[in-house]
Amino acid sequence: TIPSVLPNLLDPIVGRALTPEERKESQAVKTLQSWMPEIRSTPDITEIRLCFQRPTLVQADLWACLKPIAQAREEEARTNRKLPPEVREALEILDRRKTIPIDRLGEMLDLSDSDAERLVGYLESQLVVISRTEYDEDEEKDVRVVESFPRWLERAPRMERVVPLERSWTILFLAALRSAVTLWSADLAVLFPWTDEERERAIQESMNTGMVIPYEEEGQVVYVASPVPR
């Protein structure tokens, strides 16, 4: 169970925090699903599997922070021989095809549909690829396609700002904290796909800005966004 909760679009529809069961199936879920095509078409918002390995709506001002992370993670995925060979093969296919339907990627890798979805989900959670729904005119239906996340970021707007890799995690951590208001230390390891060293550096740098207030509760540190930098 993750006590740290980032804002979501379901609770405001109902006016209260939904139960886990209601988050799976309720009128609010159906309402939000009907809104998602318009939300996803908004030019300064994109959906990335960023926080807690879940789809997260990320505003364009933060995209520049994701670029050095995505580039580093893609390079690691290409060179880390401990990862399954399908990871490197998928990236090689994306190098050639640029954008490809997930089911077609699975066919080229000789994977079942469920295994292809798991592979893409893993790569998305590591900020290596990004997926979206597009209308296929030949098939006359919506299909989910995937492409390299660094390649997508090259086309994205508002990318003039250059953010060093070591600063990127700090900015993302502060953004998540401002959204969540509180983050529990036990959850921080899975908040982002970051290493222990990257996490500790980001927390320490955030503390130095005066924008974070730590306190102890139930035997662990809880971080709160400071309303006014100290």
pLDDT at residue 79 in the model: 94
Annotate 40-95 with DSSP letters as a single string. Answer: HT-TTEEEEE-GGGSEEEEEGGGHHHHHHHHHHHHHHHHH-TTS-HHHHHHHHHHH
Q: Which amino acid is at 46?
A: T
Per-domain residue ranges for the chain? 67-155, 164-230
The C-alpha atoms of residue 168 and residue 80 are separated, in whole angstroms, by 22
Distances (CA, A) of 164 to 64, 66, 72, 167, 174: 10, 10, 11, 5, 16
Residues whose CB is less than 8 angstroms from the CB of residue 54 and which lie 6 or more positions away in sequence, other chains included: none
The C-alpha atoms of residue 181 and residue 4 are separated, in whole angstroms, by 9
The C-alpha atoms of residue 53 and residue 41 are separated, in whole angstroms, by 22
Per-residue pLDDT of the chain (230 residues; tens, 9 = 90+): 455 566 666 565 566 666 667 767 777 677 767 767 776 777 888 889 998 888 888 989 999 999 999 999 999 999 999 999 999 999 999 999 999 999 999 999 999 999 999 999 999 999 999 998 887 777 778 899 999 999 999 988 878 889 999 899 999 999 998 888 789 998 899 999 999 999 999 999 999 988 899 999 988 899 998 875 54
pLDDT at residue 13 in the model: 59
pLDDT at residue 64 in the model: 94
pLDDT at residue 228 in the model: 55
pLDDT at residue 223 in the model: 92
Q: Which CATH class is domain 164-230?
A: mainly alpha
Q: Do domains 67-155 and 164-230 have the same CATH topology?
A: yes
C-beta neighbour count of 46 within 10 angstroms: 20
Q: Give me the CATH code for the 67-155 domain, please.
A: 1.10.10.10
